[in-house]
Structure 1
Amino acid sequence: MWKIEVEAVSIYDFDYTLARWSMDPLTSLNIKERWVDVPVKLAGQPHVVRVIGRGTIENPVFEIRNDSEKNKEGIMKHIYSLFQWDRDLEQIHKHFLNTNLKGLFDEHPGTPIVKDFHLYDCLMKVIIHQQLNMKFAYTLTKRFVEQFGFQKDGVWFYPQPEIVADLDYKQLRELQFSQRKAEYVIDTSRLITNGTLDLEDLAERSNEEVMKKLIKIRGVGPWTTENWLMFGVGREDLFPRADIGIQNALKRYFDLDKKPDYEQMNEKSIGWEPFRSYASLTLWRSIEG
Structure 2
Amino acid sequence: MISANEPFERRHPSQTNLDPKTSFSYENEGSDIRLPVPAEFSFAENVAHLSTATNESLYTLREGRIYKAIAVGREDTVVEIAADGDTHLRIRFIEEPASDSPTLREGVARYVHDWFDLGTDLKPFYEMARQDPLLKQAVVSFYGLRNMGIPDLYEAICWGILGQQINLAFAYTLKRRFVEKFGRVIERAGESYWLFPTAEDLASFTPEDLSAAGMTTVKKCEYLVDTARLIASGELTKEQLLQTGDVKQAEKMLVKIRGIGPWTAHYVLMRCLRMPDAFPIDDVGLHHSIRHVLGLDTKPSKERILELSAGWTQWESYATFYLWRFLY
TM-score strictly above 0.5? yes
> Among residues 241, 255, 266, which one is paired with 1:215 in the alignment?
255
TM-score w.r.t. length of structure 2: 0.81
Match of 1:230? 270
Match of 2:136? 102
Counting only pairs closer than 5 Å after superposition, residues 82-101 of structure 1 correspond to structure 2 as: 82-100=115-133, 101=135
Residue type at the aligned position of 2:238: L
> Among residues 176, 183, 188, which one is paired with 1:142 in the alignment?
176
Establish whether residue 15 from structure 1 lines up as the match of residue 32 from structure 2.
no
Establish whether residue 63 from structure 1 lines up as the match of residue 90 from structure 2.
yes
Match of 1:29? 60
Match of 2:154? 120
> Among residues 53, 69, 79, which one is paired with 1:49 in the alignment?
79
Secondary structure of the 2:326 match is helix
Aligned counterparts of 2:78 and 2:273: Cα–Cα separation in 1: 21
1:165-194 CA distance string (max 9 Å, x none): 111222221214211001000111111122
User: Gaps (5+ residues) in structure 2?
Assistant: 1-29
RMSD: 1.9
Between stretches 67-76 and 16-25, larger displacement belongs to 16-25
Alpha-carbon offset, residue 287 of structure 1: 2.0
Residue type at the aligned position of 2:241: L
Aligned counterparts of 1:202 and 1:37: Cα–Cα separation in 2: 30
Match of 1:162? 200
Establish whether residue 285 from structure 1 lines up as the match of residue 325 from structure 2.
yes
Residue type at the aligned position of 1:26: S
Alpha-carbon offset, residue 12 of structure 1: 1.2
Alpha-carbon offset, residue 13 of structure 1: 2.6
What percentage of aligned pairs have identical amino acids? Answer: 30
Match of 1:240? 280
How many residues end up aligned between the 2 structures?
Answer: 284
Over 6 Å off, 4+ runs: none
Alpha-carbon offset, residue 249 of structure 1: 0.6
Residue type at the aligned position of 1:28: Y
Aligned counterparts of 1:167 and 1:137: Cα–Cα separation in 2: 21
Match of 2:10? none
Would you say the 8 A contact 1:251–1:258 is kept in 2?
A: yes
1:167-226 CA distance string (max 9 Å, x none): 122222121421100100011111112222123432443312211111001101111111
Aligned counterparts of 1:60 and 1:275: Cα–Cα separation in 2: 25
Alpha-carbon offset, residue 245 of structure 1: 0.6
Alpha-carbon offset, residue 10 of structure 1: 1.5
Match of 2:31? 2
Between stretches 242-251 and 146-155, larger displacement belongs to 146-155
Would you say the 8 A contact 1:127–1:224 is kept in 2?
A: yes
Change (3 A) 1:137 1:214: same
Aligned counterparts of 1:16 and 1:203: Cα–Cα separation in 2: 29
> Among residues 214, 235, 243, which one is paired with 1:196 in the alignment?
235
TM-score w.r.t. length of structure 1: 0.91
Establish whether residue 172 from structure 1 lines up as the match of residue 210 from structure 2.
yes
Aligned counterparts of 1:208 and 1:226: Cα–Cα separation in 2: 9
Secondary structure of the 1:17 match is helix
Would you say the 8 A contact 2:58–2:196 is kept in 1?
A: no
Aligned counterparts of 2:326 and 2:87: Cα–Cα separation in 1: 22
Between stretches 174-183 and 261-270, larger displacement belongs to 174-183
Match of 1:132? 166
Alpha-carbon offset, residue 120 of structure 1: 1.7
1:93-144 CA distance string (max 9 Å, x none): 1221122222222222122111124222111111111111111111111111
Change (3 A) 1:18 1:200: farther
Alpha-carbon offset, residue 6 of structure 1: 3.1
Between stretches 277-286 and 83-92, larger displacement belongs to 83-92
Highest Rg: 1 or 2?
A: 2
More RCO (CA 8 Å, sep 6+)? 1
Secondary structure of the 2:258 match is coil
1:41-88 CA distance string (max 9 Å, x none): 222222223211234xxx353111223122122322222222222333
Aligned counterparts of 1:186 and 1:215: Cα–Cα separation in 2: 16
Would you say the 8 A contact 2:68–2:80 is kept in 1?
A: yes
More helix by share: 1
Secondary structure of the 2:139 match is helix
Aligned counterparts of 1:115 and 1:270: Cα–Cα separation in 2: 24
Secondary structure of the 2:79 match is strand
Between stretches 22-31 and 179-188, larger displacement belongs to 22-31
